[in-house]
Amino acid sequence: MVKLAKTFRDFRPFHALVLGDFMLDTYTTGRVKRISPEAPVPVMEVLKQESRPGGAGNVVLNLAALGATVIAVGRIGSDREGAELKRLLHGADTTALLVEPHYKTPVKNRLIADSQQLIRVDFETITSLSPDVEEAIIAHLKRLIFQVQVVALSDYGKGFLTHRLIAEALQIAREARVPAIVDPKGADFLKYKGATVLKPNLSEAYAAAKCPSHFPLDQVAKELTSLADILLITRSEAGISIFDAEGRQSDFPVRSKEVKDVTGAGDTVLAMICLGFANGLDIHLAAQLANIAAGLSIERLGCVQITLSELAQRLLEYDSDTKIFDESHTYALHQVLQGKRYSLLVLERGQVMTTALFRTIRQLSSQGDQELILYVRDSQPNDEFIHLLSSLHDVDYIILQTESLKNLCNAIHPHEIFFLEQDKTVRLDQVKEWVDSLLPQRLE
């Protein structure tokens, strides 16, 4: 887990391209109090209805939540649902999301009462791309491929990802040396040959390999490993299994506190694997991080997006070294603190653990509505002291270098700043002014 913590801190912003079936997920929530007199079915009183991007759209949101700049390539209908879907893909580049006049944007409406899904109603017409649209998409891919570090193919079987489009997309990515991660659909996996990573779920893998359910998983994998550099099989609550080209198997169990809903967990895994490849991670490290993210996802109802901040919080439960940030980890720290308030406690050179310091940390952390960050103003801090601080539950993060602190304070101002002077906690007034004008003088 130590290596996972270091890997997390080394994440950098990246650009991704998502190619696939975009749809609108609608959630109609309410309560059931009676059975219909017309038929033995529950009557649901609707309390709320909301829509979110589904299918490849959920992959886009997952990638954006992990700090990616995302280009969406797909199609929507010239209808109200298509316009709503495009609006909800906020922050993504949707210029390559083509509007097809006679195509109906797919909609999945989930009816939920008392946190339980009663039924799902789908509105869709599955149609293949016309040759003209297919040519336009391929032209877009050839132009866009050099702007991204990773490509995600999200196939939901709605007709957009034709055999030709898949083959062209994988070839374009391979020629540009951009990894292509494929989330497949159906039983014909030959069309995905040439993918960097092929990511079916367990039932899809068995169906594609034409193997009965009692067959061992490694035998199933033998039928599929020739199609991609890496075969990654998601197994719901059982985690992830990875097979390389030689058939070597690695298993990674998922870690979650409670399984509420596995909907969208596959999209979370896809996004995390994309992040891993974009940052040059080994697939096994990426899979472990994907499992942690998926564990967070299945603890909530519906499709959710896991942020780097949430991932860091869960990693903190496994390894306190995740708390320690230096100059090379500024981006990850900024992602962790997005939307949060924090207090800063500045510790002078030569500071050791004392009763006064421990008491100060406890008092500041008890405020509860903000994170506590310690800045150790020492070019060569004592390793034992740093790891002792990181082991304290009350300490959220530790910054080790002045430049990191400057970058953080300029981007996200601390709510309060404290110093420990002669074993007394001193609160600094006029935080903004100090950050803007006195920070370089005070801390260098």
* Residues designated catalytic: 267
CB atoms within 10 A of CB 24: 25
Specify the pairing of strand 240-243 against strand 249-252. antiparallel
Look at residues 52, 63, 48 and name the one whose alpha carbon lies nearest to residue 24: 52
| Cα torsion through 187, 193, 198, 200, rounded to 10 | 0
Q: What 3 state SS string does 228-263 have?
A: EEEEEEECHHHCEEEECCCCCEEEECCCCCCCCCCC
Q: How far apart are CA 31 and CA 27, in angstroms?
A: 13
Q: At what angle do helices 265-278 and 283-297 cross, to 10 degrees?
A: 150
Q: What is the DSSP letter of 381?
A: -
Tokens of 244: 């390389």
| Cα torsion through 329, 332, 337, 343, rounded to 10 | -10
Three-class SS state of 313: helix
Burial of 138 from C-beta contacts in 10 A (0-12 / 13-18 / 19+): middle
Look at residues 118, 113, 115 and name the one whose alpha carbon lies nearest to residue 260: 115
- Compute φ and ψ for 370, nearest 5 degrees: -150, 155
